[in-house]
A = this chain, B = another copy of it.
């Protein structure tokens, strides 16, 4: 007996799951569209040279690569290297293809350009809960707007989208790389250490300030600088963004973060917990300004993440454009929707049974009438009704037969 499981780290979605995923996908895409973003689509296969030139860090190591085909694949070449045998890569995110798309089409795109992408990306991560090797991303990005109004646009759109999906308890945490950078420098670290120190600060939530201290000591940094940094963080955590002024953070940076938080609070009628949080760093090296995450009950990680990456487009395409984006985590969101059993008022599914003596055109006539209210699947009446009911419940919640319907009998509810 063969094994018919999907490839390790990937998943099949049976009807109930696939329906939830499709419904959530539509809500997200509709809400993004209504807020003036435009869907684009790029291929899953991407130029390998281009992918390798991106700022992908660890993702480059986790990349799926396709082999050359036909005569191009020469396995007899001496000292064969991976570069000799690979042809394309599977994209590891949607931001790198978006930068390529923008570079290729910018002449005909308006500026700012507000893009939606909903598509699949691939990373050969060690399979674990919430780490699929094939996963869906739902991104919105704004290219060509260097003002904080772009962040306000993105985050208000994300919050509206999550609300429409059915999430009422949201915690929005906002930080700015410029604040982190200033504080780290103020504590005495060197410019070139900012990135390493930031990686540790990203874990404050998990390991607390004591853990941060220990990790920075392990990394071999000067104890005086570490102590100073912890002291600053203590103050900022206690006294909020205003406290950062004392540590060399520019007034304009503090103002833009406050502007974002205040306006988001007003636009969302103060229904959510929207706040400055010094522990938000985001892993990617390419962020240059604001960074933010959104959390909800029932999932430890962020369900939305994003930030400003003003230099990245230029770095990988040579074309300069300020950029800022955010991404709804489709995998955790759909998992939560299933767990919470959120419903969206879709038509329910009905099975219409017919018998050998039913005229097929009558079957279709009844089907056509029932379709006004239900999704209607016609089935020949099975021999084993018990077994049938046990299984058909996977795909339909109502059942009737042509004869029963014509006699005006009530539709049987299976749930």
Q: List 24 A-B contacts (CB under 8 A).
A: A4-B50, A6-B46, A10-B45, A12-B43, A15-B39, A15-B40, A18-B38, A18-B40, A36-B349, A36-B377, A43-B134, A45-B134, A67-B67, A69-B124, A73-B82, A75-B80, A75-B81, A109-B395, A110-B379, A110-B394, A111-B382, A263-B361, A266-B361, A267-B364
Shortest beta-carbon distance from A42 to chain B in Å: 5
The answer to whether B114 touches A377, judged by C-beta atoms less than 8 angstroms apart, is yes
Give 4 nearest A-B pairs by CB, closest first.
A36-B377, A10-B43, A4-B104, A15-B38
Which of B62, B66, B108 sits near A66, CB closer than 8 Å?
A: B66
User: Using a CB-CB cutoff of 8 Å, which residues 87-122 of chain A contact chain B?
Assistant: 88, 90, 100-101, 103-105, 108-114, 120, 122
- Enumerate chain B residues within 8 angstroms of A352, measured Cβ to Cβ: 36
Prevailing SS type, chain A contact patch: mixed
- Enumerate chain B residues within 8 angstroms of A350, measured Cβ to Cβ: 36
The answer to whether B65 touches A67, judged by C-beta atoms less than 8 angstroms apart, is yes
Q: Which residue of B lies closest to A153 (CB)?
A: B378
A272 is an interface residue with CB less than 8 A from chain B: no
A155 is an interface residue with CB less than 8 A from chain B: no
A207 is an interface residue with CB less than 8 A from chain B: no
Shortest beta-carbon distance from A55 to chain B in Å: 15
Which of the segments A144-152, A178-186, A187-195, A304-312 contacts the partner chain?
A144-152
A11 is an interface residue with CB less than 8 A from chain B: yes
0 or 1 for each of A19-59: is its CB under 8 Å from B? (1 = yes): 10110001001000111111111111111001000000000
Shortest beta-carbon distance from A231 to chain B in Å: 36
| Alpha-carbon distance between A361 and B268 when the two chains are bound, in angstroms | 11
Which of B35, B73, B105, B360 sits near A12, CB closer than 8 Å?
A: B105
- Enumerate chain B residues within 8 angstroms of A34, measured Cβ to Cβ: 347, 371, 375-376
With contacts A4-B104, A108-B394 taken as known, whether A18 is within 8 angstroms of B41 at the C-beta atoms is: yes
Which of B19, B112, B149, B318 sits near A1, CB closer than 8 Å?
A: B318
User: Using a CB-CB cutoff of 8 Å, which residues 1-15 of chain A contact chain B?
Assistant: 1-2, 4-7, 10-15
The answer to whether A104 touches B5, judged by C-beta atoms less than 8 angstroms apart, is yes
Shortest beta-carbon distance from A317 to chain B in Å: 7
| Alpha-carbon distance between A14 and B98 when the two chains are bound, in angstroms | 11
- Enumerate chain B residues within 8 angstroms of A4, measured Cβ to Cβ: 50, 100-101, 103-104, 317
The answer to whether B111 touches A45, judged by C-beta atoms less than 8 angstroms apart, is no
A174 is an interface residue with CB less than 8 A from chain B: no
Which of B45, B112, B375 sits near A35, CB closer than 8 Å?
A: B375
| Alpha-carbon distance between A364 and B317 when the two chains are bound, in angstroms | 34
- Enumerate chain B residues within 8 angstroms of A318, measured Cβ to Cβ: 1-2
- Enumerate chain B residues within 8 angstroms of A44, measured Cβ to Cβ: 44, 120, 122, 134
Q: Which residue of B lies closest to A319 (CB)?
A: B4
A236 is an interface residue with CB less than 8 A from chain B: no
User: Using a CB-CB cutoff of 8 Å, which residues 113-146 of chain A contact chain B?
Assistant: 113-114, 120, 122, 124, 133-134, 145
0 or 1 for each of A338-378: is its CB under 8 Å from B? (1 = yes): 00000000010111100000001100100000010001111
Which of B40, B64, B73, B395 sits near A13, CB closer than 8 Å?
A: B40
Shortest beta-carbon distance from A158 to chain B in Å: 15
| Alpha-carbon distance between A389 and B131 when the two chains are bound, in angstroms | 44
Shortest beta-carbon distance from A258 to chain B in Å: 13
| Alpha-carbon distance between A380 and B351 when the two chains are bound, in angstroms | 53
The answer to whether B43 touches A7, judged by C-beta atoms less than 8 angstroms apart, is yes
Name, among A2, A22, A113, A351, the residue most crowded by chain B CB atoms within 10 Å (CB to CB).
A2
